[in-house]
Structure 1
Amino acid sequence: MSTTMDTDHPGTEYRRHPGARILHGPHRTIGGVEAWVIWVLCALFVVWLFAIQTGYAVVSPEIQKTASLTVAQISLASSVYTWAFALCQFFSGALLDRFGTRPLLAIAVMFVTAGAFLYAQTTNMATLVIAQIVLAVGSSFGFVGAGYVGGQWFPAARYGLMFGLVQTLASLGSAVGQPAISWQLDHMTWQQLLNGFGAMGVLLIVLFALLVRNPTPGPEALRQATARPPLFASIFKDLGKCFANRNVVLSSVLAGVSFGSMLAVGVLWGPRVMEARGADPSFAATLTAMSWLGLAVGAPLFNLLSDHWHDRRTPAIVGVLLQAVAIALLIYLPKETTSVSMVVMFAVGLFAGAHMLGFTVAGESVGGALVGSSAAIVNGICFIVGGVLQAVPGRLLPDNPGLSDYGSALLMMPILLVIGALAGFFIKETAREPSS
């Protein structure tokens, strides 16, 4: 057995059985400088992988030409990433609950880096699919990992806001990244661009290995760690507890249709619809970036409004319904009008910010010990729905689709958003009035 010092009570030791979670102490200043350094690094990881992920909307036409692929194959490859991500996501949250961020996040960055380099070597469908799967394994720890850090290194009352800020930074990165990637493709090949992303990943690996730690738990958390069952039994037990919670399931449905629609629009279909409406590819990428800019505003905004009104359900339901209206306008506006298109794309992202309340509700419904698992389930459902909304329309579209073809294929998005809003009515309120 080894011993661990309680940094809150110097001189006290707690015995730790072999196989219990490896702890790195003393690192327990909640909300302190180290907490912010680790959170910023995790946020940078999310921004970087989001840039790779959403850059697919801009790079995919070049890959399609180089590898002689069809639109259906490009959309299928995009959905393979999404489904692989969703599958890994369910386990990543439970692993974070079990082991913490070190060394898991450094390993995750390694996978994304390897995926970026593989991505740059794409010459056929098989290579593209393998690259997408490797990227997905690493990426599954990114967003949930940043949310986990916010929940472990900061006060519990700030969990939703810290998670929203991660989404804000990721969305801002996507909003800036898509036009930047489009501009860079005029000055370099898409292979060089993706190799550049891989080089950035090597730097992140070093920073994560050197700086990211787990917060040292107090005596109660140590006692729980020594009593944990074997790894796989623990993972499935934690997932089972979360899936048995009605709020986790319903908030996953609401968040899933909201972010899934946003992902499908922001990663794949947004630029294609805009091009069918008459926009040139570079301007279509700029318009799509407006949706990510909207999400950057909406992600923390809905949490702030929810905290102010002490109401999780109503802002979530209203936001998802307004998102349905915005996507319907995106699909069915007859012609490309610059000002109207920019407002509509911004609104799609702004109201998609309501999906962040799904993470807040799920986390508040299960408690701190399962916060990683609950966040992973919500995020996993988000990407499963996103995968469906990327793959299915691709199967419905002809080889050279027009605007009316997109209108028919993408009709499922506003329909699913209405269903998600209906699920919100059955969520049990988790917001608490401040104590007097």
Structure 2
Amino acid sequence: MWLMWGIGVLGYVLSITNRTSLSAVGVDASHRFDADASTLAMFAVLQLAVYGFMQIPVGLWLDRWGARPIMAVGMVLMAAGQVVIALSPTVGVAIAARMLLGAGDAAIFPGVLRLIATWFPAQRGSLMMQLTGIFGQLGQVVALVPLPLLLHATSWEVAFGALAGGAILFSVLIAVLVRNHPPELPADVSVDTDTGTITVVRSAVDTRQGIRAAWEQPGTRLAFWTHFTTPFAGSAFVMLWGIPFLTAGEGLSTGQAAAVTSVYVVAGIVLGPLVGMLSARHPHYRSRLLVLPAIGAQMLLWAIVLLWPSPAPTWLLVALLIALAVGGPASMVAFDFARAHNPAHRLSTATGVTNVGGFLAGLLAILFIGIALDVQGASRPDLYTDEAFRWAFATQLPLWLLGIAMILRERRRLRTPPR
């Protein structure tokens, strides 16, 4: 049981490392591929788009073949993507490689959740999912610190080749050691040890009537807009634009920038259980107590940073990263909304609809920042300025305002009984 989860969660750590592997080396990537800011943004945008698009097929494949083969293939795809990135001669090929990596990455987290559902008692599922999310964020630390150190000590080819090698190693470990379900069980089922209830584990999303029915439920729309609004600023920062902003814009060294950005991971680990506890204790006040304050904190800290005379003090940048980190745990409240307002047979569909919100906002934020840099003439690292970054990050404001307006709207509809 613990071996299955241990291999799965270490594989998830590696997938997070691969997913965010350009976050600390974005400037190096821009130089290597001679890419302007908008083109650099496309690395992350298309990667996220493929990741989101693959969630439904991955769910169907997990139902048919189980976690082991799907996770192993996902690791192979990530390895292939990193090999192409390591050797790519052109930016177009490199972007295609990131899309391949996104496809492989899409298989890992759902696969780990599948292993939890089939190997652990149903009563432990929520705790194990929280632990998986917490441990998985350590992959961002690997991407922020060891990866750039390895790249600058050796070469681009060696650094990304090492990531590919790690993915191949885990594809073998998963194929050899992981089993879809315990040997005493005939299929992928979840067992409630208190009641003896056995439930077939399903990951599929109903792509026909289910999506329409889920969207017609105000609780699903509230979940979508909650997940749309809370995490995108943190995603844009840690996936691509954070390190360039801190180094080229704020004048920090690469090591200092990595240390500041690591606060995002640590704060997320600390705040995640607290947000989960508050969500469980105050289910009727989640929007007012957790979601809207988290969004407000992000907007307030970004406003202070953008208005502060350059360069911003380190304590303020740390405060900004803590505010951004709150968005991750707050975004998980969205899935509580989806779960509470949809019947069990439609839960996977509602969860899938909810998940789209975060990825949509994240890729839009990354793209808007890149376009804004290009429009200001700060298209390359040697042209990046603090002022250009400040105007670029201000493009997040319309996304926040849209999200807040829709959250308030759907919350009001949810609380208004139908006539």
Trace 1:14-413 onto structure 2 (pairs within 5 A).
Answer: 34=1, 36-97=2-63, 99-151=65-117, 153-154=119-120, 159-210=125-176, 211-214=178-181, 216-217=188-189, 235-275=207-247, 276-311=249-284, 312-313=286-287, 314-334=289-309, 335-366=311-342, 369-397=345-373, 398=377, 399=379, 400-413=383-396
Indicate whether 1:420 and 2:400 are aligned: no
Shift of 1:213: 0.6
Superposition RMSD in Å: 3.1
Shift of 1:174: 0.8
TM-score by length of 1: 0.79
Paired position in structure 2 for 1:3: none
Q: Which amino acid aligns with 1:381?
A: G
SS in 2 for 1:58: coil
- Cα distance in structure 1, aligned partners of 2:365 and 2:264: 17
Contact 2:118 2:180 in 1 (8 A): no
Classify 1:415/1:147 alpha carbon distance in 2 versus 1 (closer, same or farther; 3 Å): farther
Q: Which amino acid aligns with 2:392?
A: A
Contact 1:290 1:345 in 2 (8 A): yes
Shift of 1:389: 0.8
Contact 1:89 1:379 in 2 (8 A): no
Shift of 1:51: 1.0
Classify 1:133/1:156 alpha carbon distance in 2 versus 1 (closer, same or farther; 3 Å): same
Contact 1:57 1:268 in 2 (8 A): yes
- Cα distance in structure 1, aligned partners of 2:237 and 2:385: 17
TM-score by length of 2: 0.82
Contact 1:393 1:409 in 2 (8 A): yes
Paired position in structure 1 for 2:184: none
Q: Which amino acid aligns with 2:395?
A: M
Classify 1:188/1:369 alpha carbon distance in 2 versus 1 (closer, same or farther; 3 Å): farther
Shift of 1:241: 4.5
- Cα distance in structure 1, aligned partners of 2:275 and 2:52: 24
- Cα distance in structure 2, aligned partners of 1:349 and 1:320: 11
- Cα distance in structure 2, aligned partners of 1:184 and 1:98: 40
- Cα distance in structure 2, aligned partners of 1:154 and 1:317: 34
SS in 2 for 1:203: helix
- Cα distance in structure 2, aligned partners of 1:291 and 1:70: 27
- Cα distance in structure 2, aligned partners of 1:38 and 1:368: 27
Contact 2:27 2:244 in 1 (8 A): no
Q: Which amino acid aligns with 1:359?
A: F
**Count of residue pairs brought into register by the alignment:** 390
Identity %, equivalent residues: 18
SS in 1 for 2:153: coil
SS in 2 for 1:133: helix
- Cα distance in structure 2, aligned partners of 1:104 and 1:236: 24
SS in 1 for 2:152: coil
Classify 1:238/1:91 alpha carbon distance in 2 versus 1 (closer, same or farther; 3 Å): farther
SS in 1 for 2:25: helix
- Cα distance in structure 2, aligned partners of 1:237 and 1:147: 25
Unaligned runs of 5+ in 2: 182-186, 191-196, 415-419
- 1:308-355 CA distance string (max 9 Å, x none): 334443322322222222333344433232233223222321343211
Unaligned runs of 5+ in 1: 1-33, 431-436
Shift of 1:195: 0.9
Classify 1:387/1:333 alpha carbon distance in 2 versus 1 (closer, same or farther; 3 Å): same
Q: Which amino acid aligns with 1:143?
A: F
- 1:13-61 CA distance string (max 9 Å, x none): xxxxxxxxxxxxxxxxxxxxx2x43333332222111112222122222
Classify 1:159/1:368 alpha carbon distance in 2 versus 1 (closer, same or farther; 3 Å): farther
